[in-house]
């Protein structure tokens, strides 16, 4: 073992310790009319930890939080960790059945939930016997008195004085379990250890230009990969967290203006919502830096947001990699390129984060690197400090994910000569039509260039002759008149005819809580009653 003079375990708790000491009077958290300084934020976290310990939570226990992006959700990223306990941040849009599964699978002893989700908690009555303590946050919705629980502020006030801190046994101990979306079965619990959370938080902040001067707006759900570790990273540099209960364009624009927001993270669909909102016409995004990930952005999305004055960082990763693992690092010479070409280059997924190097490859089925020719597809595999320690209580799934000593993403990409990767599809989303592989993302990027298209999703649908063919699901821009034949012809003029959609359907798209389009829902509907290749 290294000696204590030259080695200390890494933990995100040290970020709050430092900022509370260095910036005690600086605003740490802003929400509506409330502002907590770093000293006050630290004190609330201590009281949360103490109250949890009084309720019977100890080292290694799991504590679940089911909240929107409000201050108690941020406090949940530190309070349990102070006890050596583990945070389970739950997607607030899941059903009672899915949430009950997560609570039971994780073995959570306590649940902190928002009053808005009282019906969900009622729906789990009798199904979650292991949860011993229920704490209710009454924020925008009044306290649900018929749900047995203690109100959050009363819970904090009941905490005994003193610091309940209990150190982890190792920096490799789990501090968070994030459950996947469960699109191919029940959700899997992705374990983050303290070391990975610490390093990825710093990597995120380095790559997204957040400093002590920054005001970070919480447009990304904190339950999603712990807010891509910004829950810890923003605190690390003493920046200000600006909380946001609901992602609404008007409210985002208001906070940007009134709170001096400098940074935010968002999926491409949130960016589409922003530039298509009526308020966009009067809003400048000058001085705002946005990190986008969660789905590959079309060059048109990047170009449109940057035309409003924002600066885009494009990142890529998965729940299993603590959020983003790669960044489309900006090359100085790109500033001299035409805007369209610059946006095209920035739409690539890029190279490893500073803390992830050299943990990225694109490989074939034999785990051999594919040529860096920008054409040969392979699977993206990763390893490093920001790869999960494994799936909670699921050794078989962990072994499969780590086959060959690398984490298998399931994403297909090409590797360019400059070392940048570019996603082509999820392995399950590739369309095989008449033996030809079609990248749904390539088709989507082309269709997004149509001036009448706001959003698009392309999936493979059954075809008696070709096996399957592309179908585009399109959300038109407000006031635009665009038809099926027009979209098909527009695409045929820009890529090979066999890649163009054979059908186009107009309407809303199903999405996750983070704004990612749920392709599997569209695909399953089209293949219902038919045998698929997937």
- CATH code where residue 46 lies: 3.40.50.980
Nearest Cα to Cα of residue 349 among 304, 318, 371, 370: 318
> Any residues with CB less than 8 A from the CB of 235 and at least 6 apart, and which?
12, 15, 16, 19, 28, 241
In this structure, are 177 and 59 located in the same domain?
Answer: yes
- Residue 86 shares a structural domain with residue 191: yes
- Whether 302 and 386 map to the same domain: the answer is yes
Same structural domain, 254 and 178:
no
Containing H/E element for 27? strand 27-31
Strand blocks (E) in 68-179? 86-89, 108-114, 133-137, 150-151, 174-179
Does 354 share its domain with 436? no
**What does DSSP assign to residue 59?**
T
Peptide linkage before 157 cis (omega within 30 of 0): no
419 backbone dihedrals φ, ψ, rounded to 5°: 90, -5
Q: Which domain holds residue 463?
A: 431-527
Residues 491 and 506 in one domain: yes
Cβ atoms of 126 and 81 within 8 Å: the answer is no
Query: CATH number of the domain that 446 lies in?
Result: 3.30.300.30
> What totals of helices (H) and strands (E) does the chain contain, helices first?
18, 26
Residue 473 domain-assigned?
yes
- Tens digit of each residue's pLDDT, the chain (534 residues): 577 899 999 999 999 999 999 999 999 999 999 999 999 999 999 999 999 999 999 999 999 999 999 999 999 999 999 999 999 999 998 889 889 999 999 999 999 999 999 999 999 999 999 999 999 999 999 999 999 999 999 999 999 999 999 999 999 999 999 998 755 567 899 999 999 999 999 999 999 999 999 999 999 999 999 999 999 999 999 999 999 999 999 999 999 999 999 999 998 989 999 999 999 998 999 999 999 998 889 999 999 999 999 999 999 999 999 999 999 999 999 999 999 999 999 999 999 999 887 899 999 999 999 999 999 999 999 999 999 999 999 999 999 999 999 999 999 999 999 999 999 988 888 898 877 788 899 999 999 999 999 999 999 999 888 889 999 999 999 999 999 999 999 999 998 888 999 999 999 999 887 778 899 999 999 998 775 544
Number of domains in the chain: 3
Q: Same domain for 39 and 152? A: yes
Q: Residue 531's pLDDT is what?
A: 55
The Cα–Cα gap between 433 and 84 comes to: 52
CA atoms within 13 A on the CB side of 401: 21
pLDDT at residue number 1 = 58
Is 212 a member of any domain?
no
Rounded distance, CA 203 to CA 230, Å? Answer: 10
Q: State whether 400 and 268 are in the same domain.
A: yes
112 vs 132: CA distance, rounded Å = 11
User: What are the distances in angstroms from CA 441 to CA 364, 412, 456?
Assistant: 20, 11, 10
pLDDT on residue 185: 63
| One domain for residues 388 and 449 | no
**Does residue 458 lie within any of the structural domains?**
yes
Task: Look at residue 484 and tell me if it is in a domain.
Answer: yes
**Whether residue 522 sits in one domain with residue 448:** yes
In a domain, 270, yes or no: yes
Q: Are residues 490 and 344 in the same domain?
A: no
**Gyration radius from the chain CA atoms:** 23
Q: What is the model's pLDDT at position 534?
A: 40
The answer to whether the beta carbons of residues 232 and 12 sit under 8 Å apart is yes
Element (H, E) at 381: strand 377-382
Q: Are 292 and 271 in contact (CB under 8 A)?
A: yes
* Residue 286 φ/ψ region, left for φ over 0, alpha for ψ in the -120 to 50 degree band, beta for the rest: beta
Give how far Cα 443 sits from Cα of 358, 371, 391, 501, Å.
31, 23, 34, 8
CB 340 within 8 A of CB 303: yes
pLDDT at 53: 98
| Residue 239 covered by a domain | no
Handedness of CA 415, 296, 230, 183 (dihedral sign): negative
Burial class (CB in 10 A: 0-12, 13-18, 19+), 330: middle
CB-facing half-sphere around the CA of 94: CA atoms within 13 A:
25
Reduced to 3 states, what is the DSSP secondary structure of residue 478? coil
In the listed set 400, 426, 452, which residue is the last one of a domain according to the structure? 426
Q: Are residues 414 and 463 located together in one domain of the fold? A: no
CATH number of residue 300's parent domain: 3.40.50.12780
Q: Of the residues 426, 454, 469, which one is the last residue of a structural domain?
A: 426
In a domain, 513, yes or no: yes
Measured distance CA(285)–CA(262) in Å, rounded: 9
Do 526 and 461 form a contact (C-beta atoms < 8 A)?
yes
| Structural domain includes residue 457 | yes
Let me know the angle formed at the C-alpha of 312 by 310 and 318, rounded to the nearest 5 degrees.
140
In Å, what is the CA distance from 268 to each residue of 192, 265, 314, 315? 25, 10, 10, 11
Q: What is the pLDDT of residue 132?
A: 97
Q: Give me the pLDDT at residue 432, please.
A: 84
């Amino acid at each position: 073992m290294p000696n204590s003079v030259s080695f200390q375990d890494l933990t995100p708790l040290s970020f709050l310790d430092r900022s509370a000491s260095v910036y005690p009077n600086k605003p740490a958290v802003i929400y509506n009319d409330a502002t907590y300084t770093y000293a006050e934020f630290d004190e609330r976290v201590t009281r949360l930890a103490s109250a949890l310990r009084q309720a019977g939570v100890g080292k290694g226990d799991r504590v679940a939080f089911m909240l929107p992006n409000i201050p108690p959700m941020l406090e949940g990223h530190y309070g349990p960790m102070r006890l050596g306990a583990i945070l389970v941040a739950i997607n607030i849009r899941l059903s009672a059945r899915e949430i009950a599964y997560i609570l039971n699978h994780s073995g959570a002893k306590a649940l902190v939930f928002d009053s808005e989700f009282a019906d969900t908690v009622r729906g789990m009555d009798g199904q979650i016997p292991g949860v011993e303590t229920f704490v209710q946050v009454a924020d925008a919705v009044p306290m649900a008195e018929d749900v047995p629980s203690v109100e959050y502020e009363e819970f904090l006030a009941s905490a005994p004085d003193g610091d309940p801190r209990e150190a982890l046994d190792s920096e490799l101990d789990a501090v968070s379990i994030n459950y996947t979306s469960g699109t191919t079965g029940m959700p899997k619990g992705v374990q983050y250890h303290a070391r990975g959370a610490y390093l990825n938080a710093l990597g995120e902040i380095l790559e997204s230009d957040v400093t002590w001067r920054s005001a970070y707006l919480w447009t990304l759900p904190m339950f999603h990969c712990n807010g891509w570790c910004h829950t810890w990273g923003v605190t690390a540099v003493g920046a200000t967290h600006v909380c946001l209960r609901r992602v609404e364009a008007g409210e985002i624009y208001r906070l940007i203006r009134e709170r001096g927001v400098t940074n935010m993270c968002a999926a491409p669909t949130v960016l589409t919502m922003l530039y298509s909102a009526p308020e966009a016409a009067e809003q400048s995004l000058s001085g705002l830096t946005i990190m986008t990930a969660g789905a590959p952005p079309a060059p048109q999305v990047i170009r449109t947001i940057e035309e409003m004055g924002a600066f885009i960082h494009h990142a890529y990763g998965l729940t299993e990699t603590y959020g983003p693992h790669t960044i489309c690092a900006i090359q100085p010479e790109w500033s001299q390129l035409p805007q369209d070409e610059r946006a095209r280059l920035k739409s690539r997924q890029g190279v490893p984060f500073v803390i992830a190097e050299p943990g990225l490859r694109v490989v074939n089925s034999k785990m051999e690197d594919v040529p860096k020719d920008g054409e040969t597809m392979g699977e993206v595999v990763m390893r490093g400090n920001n790869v999960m320690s494994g799936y909670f209580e699921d050794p078989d799934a962990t072994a499969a994910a780590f086959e060959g000593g690398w984490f298998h993403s399931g994403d297909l990409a090409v590797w360019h000569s400059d070392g940048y990767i570019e996603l082509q599809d999820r392995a399950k989303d590739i369309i095989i039509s008449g033996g030809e592989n079609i990248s749904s993302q390539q088709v989507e990027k082309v269709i997004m260039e149509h001036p009448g298209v706001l959003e698009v999703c392309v999936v493979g649908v059954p075809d008696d002759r070709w096996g399957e063919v592309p179908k585009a699901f399109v959300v038109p821009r407000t006031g635009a008149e665009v038809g099926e034949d027009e979209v098909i012809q527009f695409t045929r003029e820009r890529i090979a005819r066999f890649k163009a959609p054979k059908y186009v359907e107009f309407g809303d798209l199903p999405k996750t809580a983070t704004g990612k389009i749920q392709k599997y829902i569209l695909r399953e509907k089209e293949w219902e009653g038919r045998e698929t290749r997937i």
